[in-house]
Amino acid sequence: MSLRTILQLRYVARHRVVSFTPIAIRNFSEDKSGDQHQRWTRNWKITGTMLLGSVLVGSAITDQTKQKLKLSKQERAEPFEAGAKRPDLPTFRAEEVSKHDTKKSFWVTYKHGVYDVTKFLPSHPGGEQILNAAGLSIEPFWNVYGMHKTQEVFRLLEAYRIGNLHDDDVVDHSDEELWVKEPYRDKRLIVHTAKPFNAEIPPQYQAAHFDTPNELFYVRQHMPVPDIEAASHRVRVTVRSSGSERERSFSLAELDKFPRLAVRAALMCAGNRRSEMHEVKPVKGINWAGGAISNAVWEGVSLRDVLIHCGVDIEHTEGQHVIFTGADIDATGVNFSTSIPLHMAADPSSRIVLATHMNGRALPPDHGYPLRVVVPGAPAVRSVKWLESITVSTEESPSHWHQKDYRAFNPSKTWETADFATAPPVYSLPVTSAFCDPQDGDTVRAKNGHILLKGYAYSGGGAKILRVDVSADQGKTWIEATPAAVDPAPHKQHYSWTLWAATVPAPKGQKEVELWVKATDSNFNTQPERFDDIWNIRGILSNAYHRIKVKVQH
């Protein structure tokens, strides 16, 4: 990330502090440290956790406040945002709101709304971190994470409404500055959230290209896209061991002196196909269909080579991790970060690339320009974009994204009982498959009593897809699909997806057909039949059979 961009973001942040309500300013000026910026950073840092925590709000809703949220079908259909003026309620000054900043009386504001959320505190998934928003507007905290702004969360908040904030104290927390530099996106992408930008590739384009065109590659952002100048970009490599710390940094030109490495690899979000799991029982997260996976050739240099060059002992990896940090910054000023075990980086068959190119072209901004680490076979979250630093450490990344997300639980773990500290981080992905063409609900024309199906299959950790089976009669008969495109990668390095095609019978008179698909990989693992027994609070690893219904024209 360029210094220019950092300054720009900080300007935006400070500008917001200045434009805060008098209450907020009073808070800052009362801070004993006297350092407004420090206090602000601390506040946002802690609140960042809360913001992430609020992704978890769904389960709290289910458990604690169901009665408050009995929405009719009509209500659900109407767009609703919290914080409109309510003439039936009393008006409060921001100063009054700010006094309710304890567990015994805890108020927040959102636009014109004043809320007493005291009773909500015990069920806040982020725990006591919510206390940092005491007596303040929650709007700036929510602006960065667009996914908060859902009907459900707005209605939950509104259920705690007690009054209106005085007109003079309402501040415009518009977040446009943060997003003004977002890149142009292809209109064919299916957008789930605009800020941050999360969009999937339409299934027919998955099946149409073995290597997904860059502009159609699905996009998963956690924050605004940083604007980085390649010429001045450097990546820092820090090696921490037994108290000492060595640091080197490389410009892109310096990195380019290492041998070039190109790896064909699919990247898939751990939450791909979450929407199907969501149907069993609601889960929190972007409601991905099957379009959070695409395939590309990633070219750059080998992370392993760079680590060896920096003196990392790749023969002794036990208990060590490689932390990747991106230039994207959350509302708390914390950079996106996650880590992988050092043994993954040390293993030459992992083929981890510090990539500058995607399908022969410079990385697009949405995919990490000018430098992205690509960890083939792992959930895409580990392939950190806009890579700024690499740290070899005895600790995993301390970030929220690493510690509080992308971990696996069984179906009985709730947000209350799930222990993220002991749950295994997801570093590989199970075998999966999906129909791309036709899609659920499509009408297809039968030819000679048969219909043609196309789709993808993928397995993480370098496993190869050995077989794809489809059924048009609910499992009574399985028909082996034909691979349409397979990368001839070496053993244990099968990081691409497999595209397949199959022709199944659609007997005359059959107007609708339910189609199932499942894949088997080179470890002979196959997919579970149903989502029920793999369900998990975060809706990840959603790899049961893909089932669609299509209408048939004869």
Judged by the rule CB under 8 A, the positions of this chain that interact with a copy of itself are 317-318, 341, 343-344, 347, 349, 408, 410-412, 424, 426-431, 459-461, 463, 466-467, 469, 475, 477-480, 490-492, 518, 520-530, 532-534, 541
Q: Smaller CB distance to a copy of itself: residue 400 or 518?
A: 518
Q: Smaller CB distance to a copy of itself: residue 82 or 431?
A: 431
CB of 537 to a copy of itself, least distance (A): 13
Catalytic residue among 16, 100, 112, 148: 148
Cα 284 from Cα 408, distance rounded (Å): 14
Cα 119 from Cα 56, distance rounded (Å): 17
Q: Smaller CB distance to a copy of itself: residue 282 or 411?
A: 411
Are 403 and 321 in contact by the 8 Å Cβ rule? The answer is no
Catalytic residue among 100, 220, 357, 400: 220
Pairing mode of beta strands 161-165, 361-362: unpaired
CB of 519 to a copy of itself, least distance (A): 11
Would you call 436 a catalytic residue per the annotation? no
Cα 438 from Cα 202, distance rounded (Å): 11
Instruction: Give helix then strand counts, H and E, for the chain.
Output: 15, 27
Would you call 357 a catalytic residue per the annotation? no
Q: Smaller CB distance to a copy of itself: residue 52 or 268?
A: 268
Cα 364 from Cα 182, distance rounded (Å): 12
Catalytic residue among 192, 269, 372, 456: 269
What contacts 28, CB < 8 A, 6 or more positions away?
A: 17, 20, 36, 39, 40
Cα 157 from Cα 178, distance rounded (Å): 25
Are 214 and 361 in contact by the 8 Å Cβ rule? The answer is yes
Pairing mode of beta strands 161-165, 91-92: parallel
Would you call 278 a catalytic residue per the annotation? no
CB of 417 to a copy of itself, least distance (A): 10
Are 291 and 203 in contact by the 8 Å Cβ rule? The answer is yes
Q: For every residue of 527-549, which 3-state class applies, written as one string? A: CCCCCCCCCCCCCCCCCCCEEEE
Nearest to 282 by CA among 80, 124, 55: 55
3-state secondary structure of 5: helix
Tell me, what DSSP letter sits at residue 78?
Answer: S
What are 109's strand-pairing partners?
A: 114, 137
- DSSP secondary structure string, 264-293? EEEEE-TTTTHHHHHHHS---S----S-SE
Cα 120 from Cα 147, distance rounded (Å): 20
Report which secondary-structure segment, H or E, holds 467: strand 465-471
Q: Smaller CB distance to a copy of itself: residue 329 or 346?
A: 346
Nearest to 435 by CA among 496, 513, 379: 513
End-to-end CA distance of the chain: 57
**In the sheet where 190-193 sits, what is the strand order?**
190-193, 198-200, 219-220
CB of 261 to a copy of itself, least distance (A): 16
Cα–Cα distance list, 215 to 68, 188, 375 (Å): 43, 9, 21
Would you call 246 a catalytic residue per the annotation? no
CB of 550 to a copy of itself, least distance (A): 21
CB of 469 to a copy of itself, least distance (A): 5
Tell me, what DSSP letter sits at residue 448?
Answer: T
Q: Smaller CB distance to a copy of itself: residue 348 or 360?
A: 348
Catalytic residue among 406, 456, 458, 545: 406
CB of 534 to a copy of itself, least distance (A): 6
Are 550 and 444 in contact by the 8 Å Cβ rule? The answer is yes
Tell me, what DSSP letter sits at residue 383?
Answer: S
Q: Smaller CB distance to a copy of itself: residue 114 or 431?
A: 431
Catalytic residue among 16, 39, 124, 274: 124
Backbone φ and ψ for 223, nearest 5 degrees, come out as -145, 180
CB of 100 to a copy of itself, least distance (A): 40
Q: Smaller CB distance to a copy of itself: residue 23 or 472?
A: 472
Would you call 269 a catalytic residue per the annotation? yes
Active-site amino acid positions: 124, 148, 220, 269, 406
